Structures are given as structure tokens and as C-alpha cells.
Chain A
Amino acid sequence: GENVEQHPSTLSVQEGDSAVIKCTYSDSASNYFPWYKQELGKGPQLIIDIRSNVGEKKDQRIAVTLNKTAKHFSLHITETQPEDSAVYFCAASRGRTGANNLFFGTGTRLTVIP
């Protein structure tokens, strides 16, 4: 099955700086890579996703890059703000097929220091 690894497990940045979280996956058939933000006591919220037919996607301060050859994808948050503090999970799945289980990384606890 799929194995998703995520690094770092914790990340602290000063407000205004950038934050980068990296994930690798093992299943070359995976083609859908969402990122979720989970605040304390809440469910994960889908913040951005990328599909295997593109290499980069951006939405305001958030961007995700995908390298299919190397089987890794990254989340980039620019101009970080205190409200970006949360746990971020990457995930991978074979989005087009019926199985479509999301395989999650272990999470990154991001702390933005004001």
C-alpha cells in the first residue's frame, strides 16, 4: 500500500517568514495530493490540493509543488500569520480509482511566533 512520510514534525517560524512542509509517497499510481489544516479540537480542513497533471498550484499565500519523478510534494506558506498556527497533514490517493483511500502523513505542527 501507500506510505506517506512528512517532515518536519514540528516547525516554528517568525511571523512574516515562510514555512515549508515536505512529504514523500511510495505508490507511483497516486495522483491526488491534498493538504489539510487541523486546528485544535476541530476536524481537518482542506486548504489546497494538487493533481498529478500539474507541477504547481497556488492560492494566495499557499502553494503546493509536486515532483512525480521523485515522488514528493511540498506545501509552501508565505508571509505567515499567527492564525496559520495549526497541524498540517499531507495525503495521497489514487484519486481517479474507486478505492480512493487517503493515506495521511504524520502531521506537522506549525507555530507562527508573533
Chain B
Amino acid sequence: GAVVSQHPSRVICKSGTSVKIECRSLDFQATTMFWYRQFPKQSLMLMATSNEGSKATYEQGVEKDKFLINHASLTLSTLTVTSAHPEDSSFYICSARRSSGGFYEQYFGPGTRLTVT
């Protein structure tokens, strides 16, 4: 159990275009999902917390108008990178939170490699 999928796994887009990444919890409902960004050989950087039915909470320094998050259902959150530029190229990973025994566990998706040319 506790499987999280992401689509697409890789995407190449041209500068100025927008890209949407989907994150799904396949076997559990997740009222809260998280979006991370990871640079090569570095740790995960939390971008935003996505809450079902409400606005996402963005971390300091993350542009909410550039990284649009929509958590439309208990199993789906999407991240749209708008007007992408080469500096947005990165590995984007989502995670979904599951309640277990009074604690919250986080399960990660396989990641999406975005390359902006």
C-alpha cells in the first residue's frame, strides 16, 4: 500500500510554455500533498503544501504565480510551471500524507524531470 504516482516522468518544453505535473495517491486518500524540488546531489526543498479544497501554502521564496498548485480531489494534486525558463529545469517530486496510528507518514512519487530549453 501507500503508492504515489507522478506523470509525466520526464518532460522537455520550450522556454515560455507551461507544463503541468500530476501527482496521485493510488491506494489512499490524501488531504495533504507536498511538492518538492531537488537539485543534483542535494536534498529535497519543500516548495509548497497542497491542501484538498483550499489554497496551497507556499514556502518563502517560491513564486505562487509561477508554480500553480491545484488539489482538486483527495487523490490528485497538480503543479503547473507557468512561463517556464531554463532555470526552472529541475527534478520535481510530490509526496502524499497518510494518517497512521495518530501520526502522519509521507510517501513520495517517482519524480518528474523537467528540462526547459
Chain A residues within CB distance 8 Å of chain B:
31-32, 34, 36, 41-46, 49, 51, 89, 93, 95-96, 100-102, 104-107
Interfacial chain A residues near B110, Cβ < 8 Å: 42-43
> Is the CB–CB distance between B43 and A43 below 8 Å?
no
Q: Which of A34, A42, A43, A45 contacts B105 (CB 8 A)?
A: A34
Chain B interface residue count, Cβ-Cβ cutoff 8 angstroms: 24
23 A-B pairs in the complex with CB atoms less than 8 angstroms apart: A36-B108, A41-B111, A41-B113, A42-B111, A43-B4, A43-B108, A43-B109, A43-B111, A46-B2, A46-B107, A46-B108, A89-B43, A89-B44, A93-B104, A95-B103, A96-B103, A96-B104, A100-B97, A100-B104, A102-B95, A102-B106, A104-B44, A107-B42
> Is the CB–CB distance between A32 and B43 below 8 Å?
no
Interfacial chain A residues near B107, Cβ < 8 Å: 46
Q: Which of A46, A51, A93, A104 contacts B43 (CB 8 A)?
A: A104
User: Which 3 pairs, one residue from A and one from B, show the smallest C-beta to C-beta distance?
Assistant: A95-B103, A43-B108, A43-B111
Task: Kindly state whether residue B76 has any CB partner on chain A within 8 Å.
Answer: no
Whole-angstrom distance between the alpha carbons of A43 and B93 in the complex?
Answer: 7
> Is the CB–CB distance between A44 and B105 below 8 Å?
no
> Is the CB–CB distance between B103 and A32 below 8 Å?
yes
